Amino acid sequence: MVSDQLKNVCKIGQGHACCRYLVMAPGGFECVKFEGDLQLKKQLDARVEIHAINARGDNCEGKPKEELNAGK
Q: Backbone dihedral region of 47: left (phi > 0), alpha (psi from -120 to 50 degrees) or beta?
A: alpha
Rounded Cα gap, residues 35 and 53, in angstroms: 19
* pLDDT band for position 1 (cuts 50, 70, 90): confident
Write down the pTM of the prediction: 0.88
Q: What is the pLDDT of residues 9-58, one digit of tens each?
A: 999 999 999 999 999 999 899 999 988 889 999 999 999 999 999 999 99
Query: What pLDDT, on a 0 to 100 scale, did the predictor assign at position 63?
Result: 87
